[in-house]
Structure 1
Amino acid sequence: MGQDTKNYNNIASSPLLEPLPSSNSKRASKLQTLGNIIVTVVGTGVLGLPFAFRIAGWVAGSLGVAIVGISTYYCMLLLVMCREKLASEEPLGESNTYGDLGYRSFGTPGRYLTEVIIVVAQCAGSVAYFVFIGQNLYSVFQGQGLSMASYIFMLVPVEIGLSWIGSLSALAPFSIFADVCNVVAMGIVVKEDIQRAFGKGFSFGQRTMITSNIGGLPFAAGMAVFCFEGFGMTLALENSMQDRRKFPILLAQTFGGITLVYILFGFCGYMAFGEETRDIVTLNLPRNWSSLAVQVGLCVGLAFTLPIMLHPINEIFEGKLKIILRNNNDSTGLENICMYISRAIVVVGLAVLASFVPEFGVYASFVGSTLCAMLSFVMPATFHLKLFGSSLPIWQKALDSIVLLSGLFFAFYGTYNTIVGV
């Protein structure tokens, strides 16, 4: 029994991604890490921001995105600090996963609860990718006689192949390509928005500043939280970087830029389409060649982003498989075969779930209000308070408590508003 426990801890404490060699030359450079941060954080949620601004108003929406961005960055730093504390206490410095933090904070139940939340949250985010791609391809190729689910399942073989790639450094070229696709597509969308808005001669008075429907604010906030997805990849990104001391500064610079782009994107989209803004803003665009190219470009970019979303899911599942196989003295070759099969099953299962999602906007807000709020705010603040305890200054205890309680309140109240409708 003691040996089994030791094996479990050795496997469970491995990084979220495949362990990288000790040589820094094998790790991700600053540019590669930058690309991976952007492609991890920026996803489908950004295209729902104009709809969130429509619900909340452009002033409330801008402030909300800024607050969510700053809070998410702070909580990412909390995770890194917790990992560093535990790694310094381990003989081999092997505390690298979210699950490790849960285990050291609350024992085995903490590990299982943490891993369940990560798996469900990452699955929900991955489903959103499938839904977005399917919905946009269906819009682009109208009249072809195919359903949205058909386009989702066409993506499955590609995603299975990409999911078999083992490390962030190996995925970096795909990440950079996805970043280029997303930036170009978003730039064209903003250009279309500005041309439409100023071409119609609108005034700010025609757009809502702060909604009178208070119940709409949590809904919009859920969309904003969902935009800063990929939180479960924080420790993997930090662990993959050559000079990990520079990670907080790089993360701050990247988050600052992403937050400003989010505000600009949501603002321009709402100004352009007003109360006609749809839950995915690309569906508002006219059916011309540039707009269709934008939708296809975004789909391509997100298709290459999806494998990074799947990494935490695969790592947890594969950790459990390794325990079972090694306890049965099975060979490493069988482990590799099971890894490929499990990753394929994950992709197929998520595609099936995506085919049943009825509406992107409501789904994104629900995921942001529940899973993303727990993963991004509640759990990091809880771990930090638990692991550092009395060594924290009073101001940081108060700040962590505010983040924790606000995250819980937002999760419950935002979920309620999403379910009953805005």
Structure 2
Amino acid sequence: MSRSLAALVAALLLSSAASGRTVRGLFKTEAARHEHGQLVAQFMFQGGNGLVVCRLDQPGPAAEKGSRLLLYQDLDSDLDNLSCSQRLSKAQLTVSLSQEEQNQTIPGQVSPSVWQVRYADRHTCQESSVAPPPSDLSFTLLLLNPDSAGNPLDHFSAEEAGLHGFYFLLLLAYFIACCIYVQPLLQALRKGGPMHTVLRVLTTAQALQCFSALCNYIHLSRFSRDGAGSPLMGGLAELWDMVSQVSMLYLLLSLCLGWTLSRGRKPQSRPLQWERSPASTAVAVGGVITQGALLLWEQYSGSEGGHHSYHGQQNLAGLLLVGLRVVLALLLASVLYQIISTERSTLKRDFYFTFAKGCFLWFLCHPVLVLTSGVFNDHQREKVVTIGVILCQSISMVVLYQLFLSRSLYWEVSSLSSVSLPLTMSRTNHRGRY
């Protein structure tokens, strides 16, 4: 398991590229010839006052080659079926690169829209020749939206606007909750008990989500200043989120399947412990491996340039991940139905019902939000899914914490079986009272 985690860390960190809106690179004549216009960047501008700034290190060679930037707004048109010259002529805006810095204002629009930036020169539509291609041009491209004062200084595209503030509020909520609940949680973990593993895994998953939010906030804070952010922090944010997801999946599957598969052989005086069996462990590990593989696939094939592409279902891996969560939710529903239908104690049934609510909220929030996001505009969909998934899964964790740490239902259920849960107020030398 440790080797797999190490490989996961290395893959994410090494593959993390700057997904910024300050783009640095090379204008390549060969790439422009091969692609009928070298793709440089893609950006969603807001209503108006958008700005494209291109800075060249060598404006002289650029002027000699007739270098220019082509900006396309209508990305739905079938450009691939057009000839090279027709494709270049379809550009809504053309920016000649003959000076050290060129600025281009984006015309006003009714709603946010995606613009694509491509590079071309006089060699783009020529047939390949044996002559050596002209030298590449080093460039820096800034894509800016208007800020709150209407000045084009905001590096965030329209679909990313507001995420920085959301992560700040999320971290503030985590800090307040930590100040209030960290002491009773530590006391519960010190006491141990049959459900100690549950609390430990749940706390680990919650801490990883907090670390993910912190890394995202740091990344977006830097991005707001320079348009590039911190690729390391962005990669770590995705890593902690993925590890948190697989930890929670292992916890929920192990609990439900363990309770069911061991129900016929375990003592009825200990009904709610973490039960392990070869079958339940195999299913839980299989589910974790499957989800981890899909998460990695989604990361590698996700849309370029997004800080939060983890929650965007824009590829086959994302759709398979949604389907997996629906299947797991149905599996847990079947398992919990078997448990609840044969349970005679009202208190224990209430315990399982509350646990089922937390499970279903964790698994189904993602598919439901993906479906409902279709009613929103294009620039709002990914934010709705990202923010909604984080909030719903945080609420799910709160429900599970209340279930396992409360001194009401949790204590009453455990008191029926003497020592089945940690916060029973029944220490070893007091068990005779129950």
TM-score, normalised to structure 2, is 0.27
Q: Which has the higher helix share?
A: 1
TM-score, normalised to structure 1, is 0.27
More relative contact order in 1 or in 2 (CA 8 Å, sep 6+)?
1
Q: Which has the higher strand share?
A: 2
User: Which one has a bigger Cα radius of gyration?
Assistant: 2
